[in-house]
């Protein structure tokens, strides 16, 4: 494609046609300041901070939206531009309460940075006179209208990224206020608390209640990782200070999510209420007693050696890492010849021969069938893609109960038994997409076969790393009754082992590798404390089959260890030679997963 040449601040620039002045300037290191502009949002040219002087134009132009043309001559810091920018900043600072010292975001604020950059050291105009309310009706984050600059980023994030359309403006002009659902308190609105608005807010208007005043960006460290809360596999950034995890945000570079994350990924894990297991424990005299790792693993090894393979059962939750699942399979199935293994949660049924779709393809689809899954509840980021497609005109048919969280966005909602109706409509679409989950019945799967040639299919797995667990063979029809020794890799899973617990022999020996106390750990004979998502490095395989890396951001609490490390140590105790370095393990696990063509 031909290039367009122009001059910015007397510098020759050559860019692709259609590039904005802002992009062109940034490509050669000219930093035009912005405020309402955000990399993940469609530019709107609202705040006017990025105005530049374009030769031949009557007025100043917003560089974030103005496309370049050949021979254009742009000045980004001329006196006229600087005067306008300072004026705009003066206006913004005097609009509401922008007394920085009292603000949570002071030091991390885009508005404040601009104030410094343009030397604003006093108020020129009469400042705000009226205090605005603070909306604290949501659990995890607050909206302080006093700090709001009405840049509209939150509204656009809500519409363009989460596609939830909760946020909007009421009133007009200087009386404009961000509001939810035509002025409902946020907590009572259709807000899904994904916090995307929080993540894009340039000032302290929307802020996280848990981590506020706990540290500025400059004082903290950022670790990139993958969210371990569902099977979408969102890229995240973990912000820590002095070994404490402050908050989580979406990684704009995230392969799948491109910055978006949800309530489950952003807030809930930081507000965990369950009790952590901090020490290895062994049941002695009917009570679990803390012991050393060596002692605990020794006891497990001893028991395993004493049990014949067919009386050993292995259960895993789907939030184990690829590495742990790899070791679990190698140690128990290959080495110890155990074949009674199982998965604690359900998995989506396998459909053979279908064209596989990636989640991002949803947005290009013109008709989406959601079958037996409730992504709005369980995998919210994937529901964002569905809703974005709906915004672009795609029709959504939800084949599920009417409680399904996507029903309000759907053009049609049918019960599973009437899937035929939905399929008939989908057959007439140009580019249908089927997103299915564990709730899909076999009959429904058969009907869906009609779409085999036309539609793209994507399973949305209910568990985090189900794809890998299934690939390693853990979805195998586990029979609890036959185990005398049960090894449960539970990790952070919650309560999903209870069913297994009920049917196990009362005399059976139970080893639980878990992060939190639960009825299962209460029943266990050995408890092996496991590091949680933020404390361990490991790989996860998302529902599309992408292998994604999760990184450790903080040290494990107490004596807890990463899931794979525990298994590796156990293998040592059993005298089995399995890989012990993480990198080695990780590479081999990935290779094997690839081989299994998941």
Partner 1 sequence: MKIYRSHLLICGGTGCHASGSLIVKKALVEELDKRGLAEEIKIVETGCNGFCAQGPIMVVYPEGIVYMQIKADDVPELVEEHLVKGRPLARLFYMEPTTEEKIPTMQEIPFFAHQELRVLRNRGLIDPENIEEYIARDGYAGLAKALTELSADDIVKEVLASGLRGRGGAGFPTGLKWQFAARSMGDVKYVLCNADEGDPGAFMDRSVLEADPHAVIEGMVIAAKAIGSTQGYIYCRAEYPLAIHRMNIALSQARDLGLIGSNILETGLNFDIEIYQGAGAFVCGEETALMTSIEGKRGMPRPRPPFPAVSGLWGKPSILNNVETLANIGQIILRGGDWYASVGTERSKGTKVFALTGDVNNVGLVEVPMGTTLGTIVYDIGGGIPGGKRFKAAQLGGPSGGMIPVQHLNAPIDYEKVAELGAIMGSGGMIVLNEDKCAVDMARFFMDFCQDESCGKCVPCREGTKRMLEILTNICNGKGQEGDIELLENMAIVIKDASLCGLGQTAPNPVLSTIRYFRSEYEAHIRDKRCTAVVCSALFKSPCQHTCPVGMDVPAYVALIRAGRLEDAYKIMMRTNPFPSVCGRVCDHKCQSKCRRGMLDEPVAIKFLKRFISDNAPRPKIDPVPVTRKEKIGVVGAGPAGLTAAKDLAMRGYKVNVFEELPTPGGMLAWGIPSYRLPREILNREIDDIRQLGVDIRCGVRVGRDIPFDQFLKDYDYIYLAPGAHKSQRMGVDGENLQSVYGGVEFLREFNLNEAAWLQGEKKIGSRVAVVGGGNSAIDAARTAVRLGADVTILYRRLRADMPAAEEEIVAAEHEGIKIEYLVAPTKLIGEGGKVTGITCERMTLGDFDASGRRRPVPVKGSEFTLSVDAVIAAIGQTPDLSFVSEGSGVKVNRWSCFDLDGLSKSKTLRDKVYAGGDAVTGPDTVIGAIQAGHQAAEDIDRAIRTTNGEPLYVAPPSEDIVIPFEIDEETEERPQAAMPELDARERRKSFIEVELGYSREEAFKEACRCLRCDAEI
Rule CB under 8 A: say whether 83 interacts with partner 1. yes
Binding mask 91-110 for partner 1 (x = CB under 8 A): xx-xx---------------
Please state the closest distance from residue 88 (CB atom) to partner 1, in A. 5
Rule CB under 8 A: say whether 130 interacts with partner 1. no
Contacts of 85 (CB under 8 A, 6+ apart): 33, 49, 51, 118
Please state the closest distance from residue 143 (CB atom) to partner 1, in A. 17
Which is nearer to partner 1, 175 or 428 (by Cβ)? 175
Which is nearer to partner 1, 40 or 65 (by Cβ)? 65
Which is nearer to partner 1, 149 or 386 (by Cβ)? 149
Host H or E run for residue 223: strand 221-226
Structure tokens of 146?
Answer: 């006093």
Please state the closest distance from residue 182 (CB atom) to partner 1, in A. 11
Neighbours of 286 (CB within 10 A): 5
Please state the closest distance from residue 43 (CB atom) to partner 1, in A. 8
Round to whole Å and give the CA distance between 80 and 86. 10
Q: What residues does 538 pair with on adjacent strands?
A: 550
Which is nearer to partner 1, 175 or 453 (by Cβ)? 175
Rule CB under 8 A: say whether 45 interacts with partner 1. yes
CB 153 within 8 A of CB 200: yes
Which is nearer to partner 1, 182 or 577 (by Cβ)? 182
According to DSSP, residue 140 is labeled S
SS (H, E, C) 40-102: CCCCCCCCCCCEEEECCCCCCEECCCCECCCCCEEECCCHHHHHHHHHHHHHHHHHCCCCHHH
CA-CA distances (angstroms) from residue 474 to 14, 313, 349, 426, 532? 55, 11, 14, 34, 21
Rule CB under 8 A: say whether 176 interacts with partner 1. yes
Which is nearer to partner 1, 171 or 289 (by Cβ)? 171
Which is nearer to partner 1, 51 or 397 (by Cβ)? 51
Q: Which of 126, 182, 403, 577 binds partner 1 (CB under 8 A)?
A: 126
Which is nearer to partner 1, 152 or 562 (by Cβ)? 152
> What 3-state DSSP class applies to 316?
strand
Please state the closest distance from residue 80 (CB atom) to partner 1, in A. 7
Applying the rule CB under 8 A, the residues between 49 and 68 that interact with partner 1 are: 49, 51, 59-60, 62, 65-67
Rule CB under 8 A: say whether 183 interacts with partner 1. no
Rule CB under 8 A: say whether 33 interacts with partner 1. no
Which is nearer to partner 1, 47 or 282 (by Cβ)? 47
Rule CB under 8 A: say whether 88 interacts with partner 1. yes
Which is nearer to partner 1, 56 or 286 (by Cβ)? 56
Applying the rule CB under 8 A, the residues between 142 and 171 that interact with partner 1 are: 149-150, 152, 168-169, 171
Rule CB under 8 A: say whether 219 interacts with partner 1. no
Round to whole Å and give the CA distance between 307 and 508. 11
Q: What is the DSSP string of 321-334?
A: -HHHHHHHIIIIII
Contacts of 291 (CB under 8 A, 6+ apart): 279, 280, 281, 282, 299
Structure tokens of 122?
Answer: 């006093």
Which is nearer to partner 1, 94 or 364 (by Cβ)? 94
Which is nearer to partner 1, 94 or 482 (by Cβ)? 94
Please state the closest distance from residue 111 (CB atom) to partner 1, in A. 11
Order of strands, sheet of 235-241, starting from the edge strand that comes earlier in the sequence: 221-226, 235-241, 244-250
Closest CA to 489 of 273, 275, 345: 345
Round to whole Å and give the CA distance between 331 and 314. 11
Stretch that binds partner 1, among 48-56, 180-188, 195-203, 373-381 (CB under 8 A): 48-56
Structure tokens of 81?
Answer: 């531009």
Please state the closest distance from residue 407 (CB atom) to partner 1, in A. 22
Please state the closest distance from residue 154 (CB atom) to partner 1, in A. 14
Stretch that binds partner 1, among 46-54, 190-198, 239-247, 434-442 (CB under 8 A): 46-54
Q: Which of 130, 175, 285, 453 binds partner 1 (CB under 8 A)?
A: 175
Q: What residues does 167 pair with on adjacent strands?
A: 180
Round to whole Å and give the CA distance between 363 and 120. 44
Closest CA to 379 of 409, 343, 399, 405: 405
Please state the closest distance from residue 149 (CB atom) to partner 1, in A. 8
Rule CB under 8 A: say whether 286 interacts with partner 1. no
Host H or E run for residue 523: helix 519-523
Rule CB under 8 A: say whether 47 interacts with partner 1. yes
CB 214 within 8 A of CB 191: no
Round to whole Å and give the CA distance between 284 and 101. 56
> Contacts with partner 1: how many residues (CB under 8 A)?
35
CB 224 within 8 A of CB 235: yes
Neighbours of 68 (CB within 10 A): 26
Rule CB under 8 A: say whether 174 interacts with partner 1. yes
Rule CB under 8 A: say whether 202 interacts with partner 1. no
Q: Which residues make up the interface to partner 1 (CB under 8 A)?
A: 44-49, 51, 59-60, 62, 65-67, 80, 83-84, 87-88, 91-92, 94-95, 125-126, 149-150, 152, 168-169, 171-176
């Amino acid at each position: 494609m031909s290039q367009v040449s122009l001059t910015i601040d007397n510098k020759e620039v050559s860019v692709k046609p259609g590039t904005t002045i802002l992009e062109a300037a940034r490509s050669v290191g000219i930093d035009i300041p912005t405020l309402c502009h955000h990399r993940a949002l469609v530019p709107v040219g609202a705040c006017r901070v990025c105005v530049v002087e374009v030769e031949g134009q009557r007025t100043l132009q917003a560089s974030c939206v103005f496309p370049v043309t050949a021979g254009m001559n742009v000045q980004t810091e001329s006196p006229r531009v600087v005067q306008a920018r300072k004026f705009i900043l003066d206006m913004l600072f005097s609009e509401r309460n922008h007394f920085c010292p009292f603000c949570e975001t002071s030091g991390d604020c885009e508005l404040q940075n601009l104030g410094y950059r343009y030397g604003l050291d006093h108020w020129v105009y009469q400042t705000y006179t009226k205090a605005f309310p603070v909306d604290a009706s949501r659990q995890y984050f607050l909206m302080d209208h006093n700090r709001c600059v009405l840049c509209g980023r939150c509204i656009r994030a809500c519409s363009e990224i989460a596609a939830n359309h909760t946020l909007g403006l009421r009133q007009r002009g200087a009386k404009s206020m961000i509001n939810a659902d035509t002025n409902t308190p946020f907590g009572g609105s259709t807000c899904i608390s994904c916090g995307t608005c929080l993540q894009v807010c340039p000032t302290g208007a929307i802020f996280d209640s848990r981590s506020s005043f706990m540290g500025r960006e400059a004082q903290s460290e950022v670790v990139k990782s993958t969210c371990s809360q569902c099977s979408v596999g969102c890229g995240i950034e973990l912000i820590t200070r002095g070994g404490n995890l402050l908050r989580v945000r979406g990684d704009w570079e995230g392969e799948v999510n491109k910055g978006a994350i949800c309530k489950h990924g952003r807030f809930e894990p930081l507000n965990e209420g369950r009790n952590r297991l901090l020490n290895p424990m062994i049941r002695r005299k009917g009570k679990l007693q803390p012991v050393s790792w060596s002692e605990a693993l020794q006891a497990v090894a001893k028991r395993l050696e004493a049990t014949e393979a067919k009386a050993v059962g292995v259960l895993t939750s789907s939030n184990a890492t690829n590495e742990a699942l790899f070791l679990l399979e190698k140690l128990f199935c290959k080495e110890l010849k155990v074949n009674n293994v199982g998965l604690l949660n359900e998995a989506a049924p396998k459909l053979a021969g279908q064209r596989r779709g990636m989640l991002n393809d949803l947005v290009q689809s013109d008709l989406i069938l959601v079958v037996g899954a409730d992504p709005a509840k369980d995998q919210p980021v994937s529901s964002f893609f569905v809703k974005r497609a709906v915004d672009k005109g795609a029709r959504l048919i939800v084949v599920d109960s009417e409680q399904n969280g996507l029903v309000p966005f759907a053009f049609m909602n049918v019960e599973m038994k009437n899937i035929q109706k939905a399929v008939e409509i989908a057959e007439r679409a140009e580019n249908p997409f089927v997103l299915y989950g564990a709730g899909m019945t076999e009959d429904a799967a058969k009907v869906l076969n009609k779409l085999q040639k036309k539609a793209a299919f994507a399973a949305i797995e209910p568990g985090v790393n189900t794809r890998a667990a299934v690939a390693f063979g853990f979805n195998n029809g586990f029979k609890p009754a036959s185990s005398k020794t049960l090894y449960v890799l539970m990790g952070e899973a919650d309560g999903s082992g209870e069913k297994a617990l009920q049917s196990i022999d009362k005399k059976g020996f139970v080893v639980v590798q878990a992060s939190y106390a639960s009825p299962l750990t209460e029943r266990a004979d050995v408890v092996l404390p496991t590091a949680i998502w933020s404390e361990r490095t490991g790989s996860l395989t998302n529902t599309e089959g992408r292998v994604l890396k999760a990184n450790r951001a903080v040290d494990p609490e107490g004596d807890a260890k990463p899931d794979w490390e525990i298994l590796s140590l156990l293998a040592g105790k059993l005298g089995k030679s399995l890989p012990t370095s993480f990198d080695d393990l990780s590479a081999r696990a990935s290779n094997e997963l690839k081989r299994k063509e998941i």
